Structure 1
Amino acid sequence: MATTTVEPQARKRRRKTRTKNISPLPALLASELTASQIDLTPGKEHVFCPACSNWTPITGVLGTPVLVPHHTTPYHDPTTTPRRCSNTNRRITLDTAIGTWRADLAERTQASPTVASRRPTKVLPKPKAHPAPAASQLAPVPLSAEQVRRMFRQHQEQCLACRGEARDRAGQKLPCRDGERLAVTFLRLLRQEPKRQAVREFFARERRRFDREYAGATPKRGAGWAAVLPAVQNADQLRRAVPQGTHPTDGPEVPLVPRQAAAQPERGQLMCERCGATESSLVDAVAAGWHRITRRLHCGRCADRFPAWTRTSF
């Protein structure tokens, strides 16, 4: 007769720990733990186990609060052997109010350096940096012996080595490289000053000579007017020779009779604003090619002298 082997099955794990075993160790005090080592959120009470350094739930909050049974290492880690923690079923006294715990936790969180580093900093306006000028735009300023002498005296007043007060461990005076460089520069410029002065005087003389030659080559204002004066006088004589009231052949006629003395149109007649021609009616004026220019009546002959875009038909 064949026998069959039945594999054992694990019992279903209880959702809540229901045990009457209590650890003989003294009870933990919640007041002795920091706000970051305990969580008193209703329904999610946890405590940082001091024995295994793991967050452990608290059961029996309404009765006898104890730490639930737990291991020192995660139970799902296959590389380690599970071992029951010594604080399993250990009692804990919740002698801290939830409001006090939340206030301590908020104060500790605000004082934490990591939280302070995550706070947004004040946005400061970036200073506007002006672009540096190009090398061709730089105007070098020549140094003079007097400027270097002032810089050297100012350096001597501020430098301890130049005044002989700076000494090394052996008691020897320390030399000053900056003071030596300024002194050498002052002596070099003082030696070259006569040559520099001669060069400056030479350029000043050349500048004055160039200005004199440029002023002599420029024609004077009176000479230029004298050259065009005969042409202006000839134009004036030609203008006076033209009799008043006449016009060139390619231009319009100029009325010799003033407009104020012109005959006034009779009642019902239309009169041209330019030459004074009249028409008996509007129909005759349209037939004769009259137009309105700048809201004024002009006969056909006078209207043809104006551009087409200025003429408005009746």
Structure 2
Amino acid sequence: MAAITAEPKARKRRRKTRTKTVSHLPALVAAEFTASQIDLTPGKEHVVCPACTCWTPITGVLGTPVLVPHHTTPYHDRTPNPRRCSNSNRRIVLNTTPEAWREQMVERTEVSASVASRRPTKVLPKPKAHGAPAASQLTPVPLSAEQVRVLFRRHQERCLACKGEATDRAGQTLPCRDGERLAVTFLRLIRQEPKRLAVREFFARERRRFDREYAEAAPKREAGWAAVLPAVQTADQLRRTVPQGAQPAEGPEVPLDRMVPRQAAEQPAPGPLTCERCGTSESSLVNAVAAGWCRITRRAHCGRCAKRFPAWTRTSF
């Protein structure tokens, strides 16, 4: 039969370690620990044990520094069967002075503070607030007697004054203004309910009549539109055939023989025309119009002289 080995148990921890036993494990080096994993305060030397990650005192600082025998759990942990850590009595080389360790702690604290100040704060998304609708966009909901009755019953169940349990110092029952207002509103709606019902029926009847008349007049509208549609299509086709800015060929001509007296006075007399500026002459009005002649202040000017004046002053014959 195989021998059954009992699980080793840790003995009760002594208050002061007076043993000269040293662990066979290689010595730890204080310089390999960060400033936050070791405490070199004189008389309070501690280090984080690499095996159990518990803060462990350092004893024998003036002679052979070793880790105090300790359990694998913190000292305040009341474990029923604690076990001793494998780094108990392990040597540690204190090659870092308390002054150097303190400087590292100060630098680490300053760096942490500066990093915390540079770290941006978390941006919380701002909730989207929808704007309130305009008064013209609100749809009023008419009150009904049933809704007011439900509110009144619910108020009576919660209000002490309506139940008669609310009294003043003299012992008199206090009235409830809210319950009274709800009761008055309920009675008013009950009294006005026949009139409201009649108005609703009237509007519904008028709506049905309007829909019926509109449906009956639909064939007439369609027939009228069918009669007008060919003329509209013909007008559209004629409008597309006319060039942009040109006068329709079938349009009536301007009656030049019948003019208003003022227009007749402004019309130049038939015969040769003479430019008021340079004295150039044209044999007829047709040739003058073809050459670009214009009237400026009701006087004839040739095309070359007319260009010297602004466009708004030139009037064609």
Query: TM-score per shorter chain, which class?
Result: 0.3 to 0.5
TM-score, scaled relative to structure 1: 0.33
